[in-house]
A and B are shown apart, each in its own frame.
Chain A
Amino acid sequence: MATNITMPQMGFDMTEGTIAAWLKKEGDPVTRGEAIAEIETDKTTIQIEAFSDGILRKIVAQPGQKVPVGEVIAIIADPNEVVEAASPSPVEQPTQTPALVTPPAPTPVTASGVVTESDRVIATPVARRIAQERGVDLRLVKGTGPEGRITKADVEAFILSATPAPTKVEPPAPVVVPPPPPVPVPTPVAAPPPPVSVSGEKQPLTRMRQTIATRMVASKQQVPHFYITVSVEMDAALALREQINAALQAEGVKVSVNDMVIRAAALALRRFPNLNASFAGDGIQRHDQVNVGVAVSVPDGLVTVTVRDADKKSLRQISLEMAGLAARAREGKMQPADYGGQTFTISNLGMYRVDNFIAIVNQPDAAILAVATAQPAPVVREGQIVIRTMMNMTLSGDHRVTDGAEAAQFLNEIKRLLENPWGLVL
């Protein structure tokens, strides 16, 4: 039987060898154990032996030829046997051993997914983790560690300073504020949408835009919103407003519809303590004061100013206060007492000719009132279609704090007060 002589493995580190010389020539008889060739490895020259008896019928690898271990170098066979042209036999491959190591787990997403290379936040791992859990944008946190590294303590201090103390409302917890950095209930800005392939210029986020983004996302993520809309007949209120403004013209007082809404809301809030409240994790925090926040549009965004103790102030007082607040807001000259600490917020887009809109709750308030434009509309009165000045208002409520029925009664109380406006001034 023909046997292939293969390049032998002669040492644990040998992978190939060179035929140095054949000690037998084709046709020579060989016996098992007899040296038949000399092989050169990178270390030495070594004789190789035949592992079977027979005739060296064919030398496949010539002297000087380099052959991998396991390749055929010669064939031993019986004298009469037909020897086929040798084809190299494959080198025995070591069995593939499955690696015992598993690939490392995918890198967890770090807290500040929005951080770009140029804007790298240096923060400790635990600071990143807490920031992610609590929705803190680390770019807004000041780091006290080496090279400004943000530590766990920095994040905790940030959260503490940003959360309004639930029991007392007085220390101004800033709402949407341009100048000072602290931001209330924080949440990460939503991940930026995938880049669009439309050309255009990317505007950097202003501080205010960042804050708005953060706060609105937080509210939408954390607050279960529900919405109730009413239509208010404003003719009586508008008539009263004209009389008041005429009377107080000398004083420079000019009561706006919004002032009346503030007053109405403040009075209604006094009767519905659950709407003058905040969700506080393990309870509902009712507030002693009625502080009405009002969103004010400013050149690059909006801010919310606060009319404190609005339920205890006259329409005149409210009007005067609002005028000052709005002016300072638009000029970017707000004082700390001008913002924050609100227990309810009003957003009024009446001057923009809108029929209706829905606002996002301004945390930690229980609700926000969206006030649309008062405009003539056909309504049915005593079976007749008549024209009245109607104004839609939509209340967005925090369902963790209040429910539809209660909110509807509250909203109807505001409606009642506006439709019977003498209650606002008496």
Chain B
Amino acid sequence: MDRDTLISLYRQMLLIRVFEDRAAEMYAKAKIAGFLHLYNGQEAIAVGAVSALAPDDEIVVNYRDHGWALARGCTARAVMAELFGRATGTTGGRGGSMHLVDVKRHFWGGYAIVGGHLPLAVGLAVAAQYLKTGRVTLCSMGDGSTNIGTFHAALNWAKLWNVPIIFLVENNQYAMGTAYEVHSAVPMLTKAAGYDMYAEEVDGMDVLVVHEAVCRAAERARRGDGPVFLNAVTYRYRGHSMADPDVQRSKEEIAEWRRRDPITRFADEVLLKRELATPEELAAIRKSVEAEVEDAIEFADNSPEPPLESLYDYIYMQPVSHMQISGSLIRPPKLGGRVSPNGKHH
């Protein structure tokens, strides 16, 4: 890997980190609403994995998706604008934090029903296999999603039909607040073994380790050797979401994992140690990243809200001729359905 690539990995991870910190701030300031699941601590996985894939390989992830979107090349502006619910966001303010998407970049989206996206990812891989596109599908998920029915149905099917897919568990060791040993009966790799699936455990705090593991996995899948299962052990620094008081994890445990921070470690042990960059250069990168995120916030804040008349757009990709008299579409708003003064929910 050349210097520019390494610097680029560093910059991407730092961009995600700064982006998430500022997103937390914007959430606290009520610029962002709903749920906000931050990626702090897990940056090496998205950055390492995306750098190992071809630009047209398919990526499907869960709701902790800001890092993936940024790593895949979505602009900080588009992502922040989406968090702000603006027309300039990745889905024009439709999906919000948990449902970022950029199909042009083969980023098929964040999915917020735990385990729900695994069958979709297998389906994308089946399509690639059927259409012989040579594309590999990468499906990331949390450790918390490895107990639900769709996980097992998806692994079984993927193995059965030998489809080109990488199941990448971002094992941050907690399903929301529930620790791995409380939610899973067997070690992670045993789950893959149950489907006789090739599996590896990797250090999810090391971007290069993740990168190499995904390279190997993609190669396997691409040459027709079937699905691969990766267990990337990592840690999330913040609570599950902004609403999480994070009382279940000890301060010591968090501090311990922070010492293995993927960004500082990569800077210290790779870039500085190998003299690929000077501290001043890294400081300059940080400055440029901070400016980029500040610009994204400004952009988001100044972006318009989605136009009301777009509300019904894409209800169908193929509209229906009788839509105007449909009970479900145009009619209700015109006909009534008066809002009850008591209807406001508190």
Q: Using CB atoms and an 8 Å cutoff, list the residues of chain A in contact with chain B.
A: 6, 8-12, 14, 32-33, 43-49, 51, 69-70, 91-92, 95, 97-104
Contacts and interface: CB of A to CB of B under 8 A. Distances in A.
B25 interface: yes
A33 B261 CA distance: 16
A104 B338 contact: yes
A14 B28 CA distance: 10
A98 B338 contact: no
Given A12-B35, A14-B243, A46-B245, A103 B338 contact: yes
Contact of A101 (B30, B31, B336): B336
Contacts of A97: 308
Q: Which 9 A-B pairs have the closest CB atoms?
A: A11-B243, A8-B28, A104-B336, A46-B245, A100-B333, A51-B25, A44-B245, A9-B30, A12-B34
Contacts of B209: none
Contacts of A95: 305
Given A46-B245, A51-B28, 6 more contacts: A6-B29, A10-B28, A44-B245, A100-B308, A100-B311, A101-B339
A70 B21 contact: no
A8 B336 contact: no
23 contacts: A8-B28, A8-B29, A9-B27, A9-B29, A10-B242, A11-B242, A12-B243, A43-B243, A46-B243, A46-B244, A48-B28, A51-B25, A70-B29, A92-B31, A95-B305, A98-B308, A100-B308, A100-B311, A100-B333, A101-B337, A102-B333, A104-B335, A104-B338
Nearest to A93: B30
Nearest to A44: B245
Interface in B1-33: 21, 24-25, 27-31, 33
A73 to B, nearest CB: 11
B245 A12 contact: no
B332 interface: yes
Interface string B31-51: 101110000000000000000
B245 A101 contact: no
Nearest to B311: A100
A5 to B, nearest CB: 9
B334 interface: yes
Contacts of B24: 49
B338 A101 contact: yes
B308 A12 contact: no
A241 B58 CA distance: 115
Contacts of A46: 243-246
Contacts of B338: 101, 103-104
Contacts of A98: 308
B16 to A, nearest CB: 16
Contacts of B339: 99, 101
A10 to B, nearest CB: 6
A70 B27 CA distance: 11
Pick the most buried of A47, A70, A100: most chain B CB atoms within 10 A of its CB.
A100
A48 B243 CA distance: 11
A101 B334 CA distance: 6
A238 B19 CA distance: 114
Interface in B301-344: 305, 308, 311, 332-339
Nearest to B27: A9
A136 B332 CA distance: 34
B28 A9 contact: yes
A100 to B, nearest CB: 4
B33 A12 contact: yes
A43 B243 CA distance: 9
Nearest to A38: B245
A10 B337 contact: no
Contacts of A32: 21
A9 B35 CA distance: 11
A92 B30 CA distance: 7
Contacts of B27: 8-9
Contacts of B33: 9, 12
Contacts of A47: 245
B195 to A, nearest CB: 37
Contacts of A10: 28, 242-243
A41 to B, nearest CB: 9
